[in-house]
Chain A
Amino acid sequence: MKHTAKSTASGNGRPSKAEKNGKNGRITPASRFYGLPLPGVNVQELSGSLIVVEGTDGSGRSTQISLLTEWLESQGFAVQTMGLRRSFLVGEDIDNLLAENAVTRLTLALMYSTDFFDQLERRILPALRSGLIVLADRYIFTLIARAAVRGIGRDYLHGIYEFALRPDLTFWLNVRPEVAFDREFKKAQTVSYWESGRDMSLSNDLFQSFIRYQSMIKREFEYLSKRHGFIELDGEESVSGVNRVLRKRIASHLGIRGTYYKPSHALSQLWR
């Protein structure tokens, strides 16, 4: 773990109430947003925690989110999840745009930002006000990386997401593009048009296109990781090994003592 999230820089100890309230100057209410807070949001009310898991397709992200949800619920924490294209407002519209492949890069980036803020304002902020743990299956970082590799300015993108809530913890499941390819191929017998960056005309060969595109995304993530203090994990490790590290970090953030966890029968097939 090279980088430690800024907001948890106090180390492994659980954040005290004073720290949460910003009395020691670390987590001030203002620092919960990147820039100005969203209009109409009182940061003092947000008592829940936002935990982000980032990583490309094939990094094991969704598996880990399922396992973490079960573990947190078993510990008595209520969990809300968010992800890409899950907003009621435009989630379906983006699906249609992607299917038709009739959209320019900027429009798509802005539709994704609409999708993101609709979820944030209408689902995530209410959940955080109620003290829930929000597990985000990807966050603004994927959206910034995807748009940036397509030539949209990084500062422009960070400007749009200035209103986004700063996560309490951001994990990056880092895997080599070749490994992601193997895993995705095994799962679906092909790799998706967008995850291979086929719109960018990188190569007519699907494998080459996938590797080049994911390498570009990975470079963006390396930059974002430095800028935002990701907790980088080796996504090529076993599911149980990655999960153990995630549980440890989350437990210390939330003040959970024991980190023992064995998946239920329903999820046991994920435990490799």
Chain B
Amino acid sequence: MATVTPDHLATTLPAPEKAIAAKREYAGALVVVEGIDGSGKSTQLYLLKRWLEIGGYRIHFTEWNSSPLVKSATRRGKQRRLLTPTTFSLLHAADFADRCERQILPLLNGGYLVLADRYVYTAFARDAARGLPPHWLRNLYSFAPVPDITFYFRAPLDVAVNRITAGRPKLKYYEAGMDLGISLDRAESFRIFQERILNNYDQMTETDHFVLMDGTMRVNKLQKLMRELLGDRIDLAQFAPKKKR
């Protein structure tokens, strides 16, 4: 039983650096890509996944925001614009918890190489940009296993924003951070919101041991580098197909 401390609960919170439990008791490994929209991270993770799939490795791919369990609530909240920064954050945490408990952790325990397109750092960067305190977010996601490697894809703001706005006629309400009331112009709001998120990512680079990737490099060169870095950090042989006797 925890000690009884009558007041000021904030003082009982773990320090942000230690909040993500460093449990490393599973056989698998966790590979994460992070970065703002348009940084090239999804393309690179897709290529990495294809390479590993073709090689017959034991992998599983998971993305942010994909759990069917809370999908209807997320959709309802977004469509009717009911979400506040707090409920936006909690709903995404519930969604991630579901994915974590039903996919990520069982797969890591089962010895899989799990590839995650966005992870808790997305919540840290984005929800902090919505005004939530970092220590609260760190606590909220403290159940998440620490990645074995986190690739942080960084592209200059203009490059990333142009990649997104060129291919999309209309930005979505929450995507553009319209709920923050920064600007009535969606493109403008999106840019400012992304800039805040980018700054938050930059601040985590050192504390969370991101591997910085230059999102402006040529796709195939960047992919070659990513494969090398992955091989340096993780013993891929343990996920390779078993040779027949």
Contact = CB atoms under 8 A, between A and B. Distances in A.
Whether chain B is bound by chain A comes out as yes
Interface of A: 6, 34-36, 38-40, 88-90, 93, 97, 102-104, 106-107, 110-111, 113-114, 117-118, 121-122, 154-156, 158-160, 162-163, 223, 226-229
B94 A107 contact: yes
A227 B6 contact: yes
A155 B13 contact: yes
B4 A227 contact: yes
Given A39-B85, A103-B98, A226-B4, A158 B90 contact: no
Given A156-B143, A159-B140, 19 more contacts: A35-B8, A35-B9, A39-B130, A39-B132, A89-B91, A103-B69, A106-B101, A106-B143, A111-B73, A121-B87, A154-B2, A159-B12, A159-B136, A160-B136, A160-B140, A162-B136, A226-B6, A227-B6, A228-B6
A40 to B, nearest CB: 7
Query: Which of B8, B69, B90 has most A Cβ within 10 Å?
Result: B90
B220 interface: no
Contact of A158 (B9, B70, B73, B140): B9
B85 to A, nearest CB: 6
Contacts of B207: none
B136 A117 contact: no
A221 B9 CA distance: 17
Contacts of B9: 34-35, 158-159, 162
A159 B135 CA distance: 9
Nearest to B138: A159
Nearest to A229: B6
Contacts of A154: 2
B97 A39 contact: no
B77 interface: yes
A106 B9 CA distance: 21
Interface in B156-209: none
B82 A118 contact: yes
B226 interface: no
Given A89-B76, A121-B87, A156-B142, A110 B97 contact: yes
B84 interface: yes
Given A36-B136, A89-B73, A117 B14 contact: no
Nearest to A163: B86
B102 interface: yes
B26 to A, nearest CB: 17
B241 interface: no
Contacts of B65: none
A106 B130 CA distance: 24
Nearest to A91: B73
A203 B86 CA distance: 38
Given A36-B136, A159-B140, A223-B4, A114 B13 contact: no
A103 B12 CA distance: 29
B133 interface: yes
Interface string B81-117: 0111111001101100110111000000000000000
Contacts of A229: 6
B12 A39 contact: no
Given A103-B98, A122-B82, A39 B131 contact: yes
Given A6-B7, A93-B70, A156-B142, A104 B86 contact: no
A134 B136 CA distance: 26
B87 to A, nearest CB: 5
A165 to B, nearest CB: 12
A163 B40 CA distance: 36
A93 B98 CA distance: 14
B5 A89 contact: no
